[in-house]
Chains A and B, each alone.
Chain A
């Protein structure tokens, strides 16, 4: 079974440009999460989709970030316009949680974004 995939693996852009990151979750997983790790700091939650609906977007830094999950399958995270502080590794994770107990989140390899 294919794991969570992310595209691109690396992106280098200039300040003010737009970048779109893509995440394909594990097939059948309703829950999709975006996280970001800035160099040397902890991995921080950005938002959570359940199918195509945004369940929690409390971690989105500002309105330059737009996430979508049309049709409840893959998701995109667009940064427009990009700023220097947006540099970091963006992780996507998916899970198919049981009704109770824990649901392991399966992570993608991340997209390393560098804004110059």
Chain B
């Protein structure tokens, strides 16, 4: 079964508007971490935001926030006030277990295009 599911292959958003990128996950481990990475056309993977399974509050980092709904196993990324530089691929990822050396499981990614 897919550990991470991103159902939106492509998304468009008007500049300065907010956009939500969907991510659902599947795990039976009570301890896990959820991550979002951005991959611009230059290819590097840029870490955006992290949410731990035991965190009580939704994570926020500047214009990025993570809408964490544990019961629904969803970890959607919200980008507020979109900018042209936000156009990129966005990957949701999960890491399971207390041992922090475990691998990441990634989704297939969402390609976001910000329209001027």
The answer to whether B103 and A101 have CB atoms under 8 Å apart is no
The answer to whether A107 and B101 have CB atoms under 8 Å apart is no
For B52, list chain A residues within 8 Å (CB).
101-102
How far, in angstroms, from A55 to B101 measured CA to CA in the complex?
9
A25 within 8 A of B: no
Our pick among A40, A45, A99, A112 for the contact of B104 (Cβ within 8 Å) is: A45
Q: What is the minimal beta-carbon distance from A52 to any residue of chain B, in angstroms?
A: 15
Within 8 A of A (CB), among B26-44: 33, 35, 37, 42-44
For B68, list chain A residues within 8 Å (CB).
none
A88 within 8 A of B: no
For B43, list chain A residues within 8 Å (CB).
9, 89, 109-110, 112
Q: What is the minimal beta-carbon distance from A7 to any residue of chain B, in angstroms?
A: 13
How far, in angstroms, from A23 to B109 measured CA to CA in the complex?
23
- Residues of A in contact (CB 8 Å), total 35
The answer to whether A109 and B42 have CB atoms under 8 Å apart is yes
The answer to whether B95 and A42 have CB atoms under 8 Å apart is no
Our pick among A40, A95, A99, A103 for the contact of B108 (Cβ within 8 Å) is: A40
The answer to whether B44 and A109 have CB atoms under 8 Å apart is yes
The answer to whether residues A104 and B35 also contact, given A41-B108, A44-B106, A91-B45 and a CB cut-off of 8 A, is yes
The answer to whether A102 and B37 have CB atoms under 8 Å apart is no
A87 within 8 A of B: no
The answer to whether B100 and A45 have CB atoms under 8 Å apart is no
How far, in angstroms, from A104 to B35 measured CA to CA in the complex?
9
Q: What is the minimal beta-carbon distance from B52 to any residue of chain A, in angstroms?
A: 6
The answer to whether A98 and B104 have CB atoms under 8 Å apart is no
Our pick among B50, B91, B98 for the contact of A100 (Cβ within 8 Å) is: B98
A-B contact pairs, 14 of them (CB 8 A): A31-B101, A40-B108, A42-B2, A43-B91, A48-B101, A50-B101, A56-B102, A97-B101, A102-B100, A103-B100, A104-B35, A108-B45, A109-B42, A110-B44
List residues of chain A with CB under 8 Å of any chain B CB.
Answer: 3, 9, 31, 33, 35, 40-45, 48, 50, 55-56, 59, 89, 91, 93, 95, 97-110, 112
